[in-house]
Amino acid sequence: MLYVIRGRRGVSEVLGAIVIAVLVLGMSASYILLEMERSERETFSLIDLIRRAERRQKILLSLIYYQVNDGQLEVYIYNFGDVSVTPVKILTDVEVDLFEIYDSSVNNGGLPLNEIPSETLVKLVLPVPSTDTFSFVLVTEEGGIFVWEMML
């Protein structure tokens, strides 16, 4: 009888070691899979950041002229960049909800636009700010932020 108990104890030690080994290997495998997935996500987000930064570097807007005409502020901006730019927000002394973009080139003068094409002069029309001195901030869909100080 003593011999049977001793034999079972040896089996349970081996079985316990196998169970522990399987648990450790399973946990290690799941940790490795989670880390691989996380690193892939970080790699793709890093690639997206680099692409967005490259696109922002191709954007070059320059304020050419501004004037008040018929109670509206007309701002002339030239896009020297290689890509078209889509303005999403304009801030003066307040956030401007309504603004219009027109092509100011000789051939297509006055046509309404949704974006500022590359190598094109455009006219932005918006309400006149309530202060004489203000910062004109143009935020683009591509992540560009352009700031010009203006005095009326």
| Rounded mean pLDDT, 21-33 | 90
Tokens (6 digits) for 94: 């307040």
pLDDT of residue 108 exceeding 70, the answer is no
Residue 135: what pLDDT?
93
User: Global pTM?
Assistant: 0.64
Q: What are phi and psi of 116, to 5 degrees?
A: -105, 100
pLDDT of residue 117 exceeding 60, the answer is yes
Q: Which amino acid is at 30?
A: S
| DSSP string computed for 71-126 | TEEEEEEEE-SSS-B-EEEEESSSEE---EEEE-SSSSTT-EESSB-TT-EEEEEE
